[in-house]
Amino acid sequence: MVSTSLSPLPVDVSRIRSPIQELQPQLVAWRRQLHQRPELGFRELLTAEFVSQKLTEWGIEHQTGIAQTGIVATISGRQPGRVLAIRADMDALPIQEENDVPYRSLHDGQMHACGHDGHVAIALGTAYYLSQHRQNFAGTVKIVFQPAEEGPGGAKPMVEAGVLTNPDVEAIIGLHLWNNLPLGTVGVRSGALMAAVESFRCTIFGQGGHGAMPHQTIDSIVVGSQIVNALQAIVARNVDPLESAVVSVGEFHAGTALNVIADTAKLSGTVRYFNPNLAGYFARRIEQIVAGICQSHGASYELNYWHLYPPVINDPQIAELVRSVASDVIETPVGVVPECQTMGGEDMSFFLEAVPGCYFFLGSANPSKNLAYPHHHPRFDFDETALSMGVEIFARCVEKFCH
């Protein structure tokens, strides 16, 4: 715990903090066990077994096998009341770990390089704490362990499986350990926190030929290049400059020899934006541009477009709840970072489309311990001090919301 004060903690702070601080060695141990056995989306079998074993050990009612590997735990307080859900994602990434730590990944080519191992540990710690302190809240807490956040997306099938009903969830909260913020800070924002994620793939069919005789061909590289350039004008010239959006072409493959005009070119890219009113706009505009440029050159095309995740939009009231709780928990001068936003995406958005809630970032970087590599990097790791901070924020949110 980062603390700037040596004076005794107020009674209410220590009532919650002391038992959670005692959990810290367990939180680290669970996180490291999970870190050693990373599993990709919808294959979180060992992870789900680990979670289920712990919940069973603590006598916490739970359902397994939801949306394949998902789990929902239900913890009731001293009497019926409001229902709050807490969400943690469980999956790892297809990355070869380069950290030389005793708890490094034992699964070749797979790694918890985004911190979801920490999310599971925090959710487990919260479940344990709440189950031991049921007298401190009225109502029900559902803890949702979700598969496949990194893709193809486990949140949507969890919502479709009814995890937010019976009893009906009134609000949902979730966090991401965040190496873009230092340990001892929390990023909370009302409204859009993370972007919508869409992607496209396009094949341009021209006509190949001799590099010295272009008049006999339809050059798919020239057509493709004009498309790449024109796509940049969507954000520059079509989207309101007060909105934020990105169109990035990440792949452009064409050609086999320097003196041969390529008959086909393939390009693909990603689209990001915050405003839900823009949903559908980019798909239409990209098709117009591709169709227009291809037509003007006599080329044809095939275009596929995917709407993957909607933007992560936080409810103002629940964001305020998290903000007020976080400022009690985090005692550094920086504390709560209010205008934190990223063009990264998250399928937490599907839960937030179904019920109001708040997703927030828990600062976990610590350059002095060499724990500051970005997410999805083969050397990603985070400061585990953040684990008990996460549990404390969740526990306090429960007590404040389900009072």
**Distance (Å, rounded) from C-alpha 61 to C-alpha 70?**
14
The nearer residue to Ni ion, 77 or 154, going by C-beta atoms, is 154
CB of 173 vs Ni ion, minimal distance in Å: 16
DSSP for 41-52?
TT--HHHHHHHH
Looking at the Cβ atoms of 30 and 178, the one nearer to Ni ion is: 178
| Chain-centroid distance, C-alpha 315 | 17
Residue keyed to tokens 């309101």: 240
328 catalytic per annotation: no
Token pair in block for residue 389: 């901070």
Site track 363-402 with Ni ion (rule: CB under 5 A), x = hit: ----------------------------------------
Q: Which is nearer to Ni ion, 114 or 371 (CB)?
A: 114
* Residues between 141 and 180 with contacts to Ni ion, criterion CB under 5 A: none
Would you call 315 a catalytic residue per the annotation? no
Question: Of 11, 37, 26, nearest to 127 (Cα)?
Answer: 26
- Which of 111-119, 132-140, 284-292, 365-373 is the region at the interface with Ni ion (rule: CB under 5 A)? 111-119
Question: Interface with Ni ion by CB under 5 A: which range of 21-29, 35-43, 113-121, 129-137?
Answer: 113-121
State which residue, 150 or 170, has the beta carbon closest to Ni ion. Answer: 150
Rounded Cα distance between 181 and 386, Å, is: 11
Least Cβ distance, residue 193 to Ni ion (angstroms): 13
Count of residues of this chain found to bind Ni ion when the rule CB under 5 A is applied? 1
In whole angstroms, give the CA distance from residue 356 to residue 169. 9
328: left (phi over 0), alpha (psi -120 to 50) or beta: alpha
Q: Spot the catalytic one: 91, 97, 219, 399.
A: 91
User: Minimal distance in Å, beta carbon 49 to Ni ion?
Assistant: 22
* C-alpha atoms less than 13 angstroms from C-alpha of 31 in its C-beta half-sphere: 27
Q: How far is the CB of 116 from Ni ion (least distance, A)?
A: 6
Nearest distance from residue 175's CB to Ni ion, in Å?
Answer: 11
Q: Taking CA 342 as the corner, what is the angle to CA 339 and CA 345, rounded to the nearest 5 degrees?
A: 135
Q: Could you tell me which stretch among 59-67, 107-115, 251-259, 351-359 binds Ni ion (CB under 5 A)?
A: 107-115
**Helices marked H in 113-251:** 116-132, 155-160, 220-233
Residue 114 lies near Ni ion (rule: CB under 5 A): yes
Residues contacting residue 12 through CB under 8 Å, at least 6 positions apart: none
Which segment (112-120, 188-196, 213-221, 270-278) binds Ni ion by CB under 5 A? 112-120
Query: Contact at 8 Å (CB) between 183 and 86?
Result: no
Catalytic residue of the set 149, 170, 263, 384: 149
Residues marked as catalytic = 91, 149
Question: Where on the chain is the footprint of Ni ion (CB under 5 A)?
Answer: 114
